[in-house]
Structure formats: C-alpha cells, structure tokens
Amino acid sequence: MTIQPPSPFPTGQVADQVAFDRRELSQILSVYGRMVAAGEWRDYGISCLRDLAVFSVFRRTAEHPLYRIEKRPRLRNRQGQYAVVGMDGQILKRGHDLKTVLRVLERKLIRAVT
C-alpha cells in the first residue's frame, strides 16, 4: 500500500501560476542556445503568471523582447496552448505541439546562418 502526500490544492482548484515544465524548457533552451551561438540573441527572461507563462528573447538586455514564447493552458482545446509572438505583437505560429511551434524560429536561424 502506498501513501500519497496530500495535494497542496483543494479539490477542483489549480495552481496560482502557469509554468513551463522541464521538457518544454529543454526544447526552448535548445533553440535559444543555437540562436545565441549564431549571435542573434543575447538574453532571455521567464515570467510565470496566473494565466500564462512567457519565455521572452532579447537581442540586448534593455530592449523589448524580439520574440515571446507563450504557454496558455486555457487554449489547449482550441488553437493550441503554445504560441510564438513577434516584437510587434503578431502571432507568428500557434499550436498544440511546442516543437512544431518553435520551428518558426528555426527558419530564422537558417536565414541568419546563410
């Protein structure tokens, strides 16, 4: 017989904030590392808010983010919970699979290298 620890949340409640899990961060940091090596990106920031988690990418520290990788669990059953948003607020790619969504940034890497 195994004893499970009590849940930190009462039944029916969810966490106070959304965050990226280890697998998601691994995929994001893989793309980030390649872009840093190509000299395109230099800094990042992570925000874990009530409704979404955001991984922001910067060319320089004191700028607005070039791209925001967002996770919105409420959109899981609609357009998909992952999105890449450009500097101007335009959604570049949205979907259910993070790896597929991040491909829009991979294309930018190919253009930067060639």
Domain that holds residue 49: 22-108
Handedness of CA 64, 18, 69, 30 (dihedral sign): positive
Looking at the DSSP assignment, which residues form a beta bridge with residue 44? 57
Q: In this structure, is residue 114 part of a structural domain?
A: no
Q: Give dist(CA 70, CA 85) in Å, integer.
A: 8
Share of the chain above pLDDT 90, in %: 35
Q: In this structure, is residue 51 part of a structural domain?
A: yes
**Residue 90 clears pLDDT 70, i.e. is over it:** yes
Q: How distant, in Å, are the alpha carbons of 24, 35, 67, 113 from that of 40?
A: 21, 5, 12, 10
**Residue 22 clears pLDDT 90, i.e. is over it:** yes
- How many folded domains does the chain comprise? 1
Residues 6+ apart with CB under 8 A from 93: 83, 84, 100, 101, 103, 104
On whether the pTM is more than 0.85, the answer is no
